[in-house]
Amino acid sequence: MGSEVGMEELRKRVETRREALAARMRAALEEHAFTNRALFPPRQLAEFARQEAEAFLAFLSDGDEGVVRERGRALAQQGLSHRSVLALVQALQEVGWESANPEVELWPSLQGAIGRYTRAFLEGYMVAREESILEQQEKTRQALLRALQREGQ
């Protein structure tokens, strides 16, 4: 089985479990809703989950890791916590395994695709979080400098 045909077969397998993937991702996001840096209404969490399921299916079609990185970056900027992100990854792995069954020989290819997707997603997420932390540190440093300058006057 060539890699192109293999990826298309994987996409078709996961496609049959699209609703289960979105539901599992929604449940994961809801479970960790209070760990996020922003409070998202349940409808928005459901939309995040649906979009994430669609993003993975699109990745199986086009393999575009840049789009996945941007997705991770966007969710970090919107305030999704690392616990929510890890729960999304776990849901993806679980549904991936269910999608490969009973043809276990598909699992290594699907696991590889999930790994590439997850790595790109986490790279984008972590870069955005690091940028946010650096920005917060710079604001804190500037506030401290202003306070020290006022104190010295």
Distance CA 44, CA 95 (A): 21
Please give the average per-residue pLDDT across 24-29, as a whole number.
95
Instruction: Determine the structural domain holding residue 74 and report its residue range.
Output: 3-152
93: which 2 tokens?
């792995």
Task: Report pLDDT digits (tens) over 114-135.
Answer: 999 999 999 999 999 999 999 9
Q: What is the pLDDT of residue 6?
A: 75
98: which 2 tokens?
């269910």
The model's pTM: 0.82
Q: What is the dihedral of CA 69, 73, 79, 83, to 10 degrees?
A: 40
> Domain holding 124: CATH number?
1.10.490
Task: Report pLDDT digits (tens) over 59-100.
Answer: 999 999 999 999 999 999 999 999 999 999 999 999 988 887
Of 43-57, 96-110, 129-143, least confident by mean pLDDT is: 96-110
Structural domains in the chain (count): 1
Cis preceding linkage at 102, omega within 30: yes
